[in-house]
Amino acid sequence: MNKNDLINEFSTRLSITQNDSRHYLNTLMDILSDELAEGNKIILQGFGTLSRWEQNPRLGRNPKTGKECLIAARNSVKFKSGKLLLKKLNP
């Protein structure tokens, strides 16, 4: 499922226009990304937890040339699934 599929599903299930669905989904993504950028965890009870974590710098290798290079430190996101989501996936 991609973003457009999700927008269509929102509009169908909520009986709203696709423009409203797009607006709500974009707003949700903005809120989530703003909170993660501030270093806050996002806990969606039963679904899962999103949290920001810092990847340390490390040595990597260019697969084409085999030359080693330093991969800079960066921020990333971890997702830990909730119990209810796991139960739904594994009945």
CA dist 66 and 29 (Å) reads 38
What pLDDT was estimated at residue 79? 96
Same domain, 16 and 53: no
What pLDDT was estimated at residue 45? 94
**What's the structural domain count of the chain?**
2
Which residues span the domain enclosing 77? 41-91
Helices and strands, counts by H and E, the chain? 3, 5
Instruction: Assess contact for 66 and 59: CB atoms under 8 A.
Output: no
Report the half-sphere exposure of 40 (CA within 13 A, side-chain side).
9
What pLDDT was estimated at residue 84? 95
Per-residue pLDDT of the chain (91 residues; tens, 9 = 90+): 999 999 999 999 999 999 999 999 999 999 999 999 999 999 999 999 999 999 999 999 989 998 999 999 999 999 999 999 999 999 8
Same domain, 26 and 45: no
